[in-house]
Structure 1
Amino acid sequence: MNFHEVRFPAPLSMGSSGGPERRTEIVALRNGAEERNTPWRHSRRRYDAGLGVRSLDDLAEVIAFFEARRGQLYGFRWKDWADFKSCAPSARPAATDQRIGTGDGVTRAFPLAKSYGADADAYARPIRKPVAGSVSVAVAGETLVAEAFTLDPASGLVTLAEAPTEGVFVTAGFEFDVPVRFDTDRIAVSVTGFAAGEIPSVPVIEVRV
């Protein structure tokens, strides 16, 4: 996949709007009941980067980033300020935040994930773009030293130096980005209109990686 491991300017994404999107197919039955299903296992996020643009310098920075990605051609990292940690936004990530696997005495590689909800209704979201240096890992509640695991920041795969024993939980804490691309090959803006308060639309959409 065409993807650049660079982040959209975080101060500009802070002012953006957006969030998760689901696709639900609903069939109305003759008796008035409904059947609901979804072809998507995972949600997909959309954002508008234009809402974070406050000055001509901001606009120039967005255009430069857009050109470097060749429009829709290359994906990039995006910081979703409403959801970028393994914990609550106001908390600091801890190695026991999210369960990412259970030891079997053999497996050493575990993909990062974040759970939403609880018990049987919980949704596990794959985390493919963790922030390097933010990830901590624990086995059976004991935080591992940095030398005891490696992280692939391009895929979110954690590999332990030793396979955890059977039945023990592997957990992790982290910050992460969303893999996205521009959802347009054109940015149209009038400098006169921008000075008068007109905000350009710069749609961004999550990609599967």
Structure 2
Amino acid sequence: MGYCTKKVYYFDKPGEANTRDAIRIGAERAQELGLSTIIVPSTSGNSARVAYEELKGKQIRLIVVTHVVGFSSPGVWEFDEKLAATLREAGVTIITGTHVLSGLERAFSSSPKVSGGSRSEAVAEALRRIVAVGLKVAVESTLIAADQGAIGVTDEVIALGGTASGADTVCVIRPSTTQRFFDLQVREIVAMPRNR
């Protein structure tokens, strides 16, 4: 027989209230599969802090992916800089990268002078609506981490994502860089909100 049995978790509702459980579930699956890396997106630093607390003492490398400077306001990095320094000192990798599934495309689609959607935004919207917002975030964070050289493209990682804030989606992903987007594989959806 060519199959295996794994647990899948479904949260009743999406959102931040699931963050700690999502990180625990991600760590559990990482240990089951012998994976060494968890990618956690974090805008303000709250999810990064919870992930650091939950993963402390485990043999799991934490990579935090944040919004770019100026995402919400020109010149502003939303991540708590004091927390960033503490996490870096503790060995956590923090990556600040452009949203690869929107980035420059969003400037065109949201401009009153140039309108219309793009293919990358269509991919992002499909991931958000068909499966979960957190899946789009997990995929995008994995692409950003690979583009920055923080992870390789041959070993699976655990990648988390969330809806608005916090984490509520856990995936096992074989990474790729953005340039080779269609080589990325979501191999497992370990947890996600059932109602979105």
Q: TM-score band, normalised by the shorter chain?
A: under 0.3
Give me the TM-score of the superposition, normalised by structure 2. Answer: 0.26
Higher helix share: 2
TM-score scaled by length of structure 1: 0.25
Structure number with the higher strand fraction is 1
Larger radius of gyration: 1
Q: Which has the higher contact order (CA 8 A, sep 6+)?
A: 2
